[in-house]
C-alpha cells in the first residue's frame, strides 16, 4: 500500500500546507478514489506521475467499471506505462484522464501479473522480510534518521518510526 499511502500523504501536505509544489511519483499504485476524488487530487497535486510496469495487476485494483463511471474507482493523472514486452522497453506518457484506454488499461485482465509489481525500472522492489528491505536500509541511514527527526509533518497523530538494521526483524504493527 505504499503508492496509495504516498498519494494520501501528498494530498494532505498540499492541502494542509497550502502548497502547490508537492510532487509525487508512485510505482504500481492501486486506484484510491472515484472520479470526483481523482479530479480533486489532480487539482491540488498536479505534479504527479504514476509509473505502471507492464502487466502489473495492482494498478488495476480495485477494478474499473466504465458502465458505473460515477461510482467506480478511478486513477488520477498522469500515468507513465513502462511496457517491456518482447525484450523492447517503451515508456508511454498517457493522457490526462487517469484512465487512458491506450495505456495499461488496454490489457486483458487475464494477462495481469503480480510479478510485474515486484520490479520497477530494473530495481527489485520485493523483500523476503523487513530486515532485507534495501529501500529502508539503503545508503545513508543516518541522513534518514535526521530527516525523520526534523522534516516530517504529520497531522492528528504522532508516528513512531523504527529504522531496520541488517538481520533484525521489527514488529511494525505498533509503528504506524
| CATH code for the domain in which residue 114 is found | 3.40.50.1820
Q: Could you tell me if residue 48 is inside a domain?
A: yes
Q: Could you tell me if residue 34 is inside a domain?
A: yes
State the first-to-last Cα distance of the chain, in angstroms, to the nearest integer.
Answer: 13
Q: Could you tell me if residue 145 is inside a domain?
A: no
Q: Could you tell me if residue 66 is inside a domain?
A: yes
Residue 166's DSSP bridge partners are: none
User: In the 8-state DSSP scheme, what is residue 34?
Assistant: B
**Residues lower than pLDDT 70 in the chain:** 1, 127-176
Q: Could you tell me if residue 139 is inside a domain?
A: no
* pLDDT tens digits, one per residue of 42-72: 999 999 999 999 999 999 999 888 888 778 9
Ordered strands of the 90-93 beta sheet: 23-27, 47-53, 79-83, 90-93
Output the furthest CA–CA distance in the chain (Å, rounded).
51
Per the prediction, the chain carries an average pLDDT of: 78
Count of the separate structural domains present in the chain: 1
Please state the pTM of the whole predicted model.
0.69
Q: Could you tell me if residue 133 is inside a domain?
A: no
Q: Could you tell me if residue 137 is inside a domain?
A: no
**For residue 19, what are the domain limits?**
1-128
Amino acid at each position: 500500500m505504499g503508492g496509495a499511502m504516498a498519494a494520501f500523504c501528498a494530498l494532505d501536505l498540499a492541502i494542509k500546507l497550502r502548497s502547490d509544489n508537492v510532487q509525487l511519483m508512485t510505482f504500481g499504485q492501486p486506484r484510491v478514489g472515484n472520479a470526483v476524488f481523482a479530479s480533486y487530487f489532480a487539482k491540488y497535486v498536479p505534479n504527479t506521475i504514476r509509473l505502471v510496469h507492464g502487466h502489473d495487476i495492482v494498478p488495476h485494483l480495485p477494478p474499473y467499471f466504465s458502465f458505473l463511471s460515477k461510482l467506480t474507482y478511478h486513477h488520477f493523472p498522469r500515468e507513465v506505462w513502462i511496457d517491456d514486452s518482447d525484450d523492447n522497453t517503451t515508456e508511454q506518457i498517457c493522457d490526462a484522464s487517469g484512465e487512458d484506454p491506450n495505456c495499461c488499461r488496454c490489457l486483458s485482465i487475464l494477462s495481469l501479473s503480480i510479478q510485474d509489481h515486484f520490479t520497477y525500472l530494473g530495481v527489485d522492489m520485493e523483500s523476503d522480510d523487513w530486515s532485507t528491505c534495501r529501500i529502508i536500509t539503503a545508503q545513508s541511514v543516518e541522513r534518514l534518521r535526521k530527516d525523520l527527526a526534523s522534516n516530517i509533518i504529520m497531522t492528528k497523530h504522532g508516528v513512531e518510526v523504527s529504522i531496520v538494521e541488517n538481520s533484525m526483524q521489527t514488529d511494525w504493527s505498533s509503528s504506524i
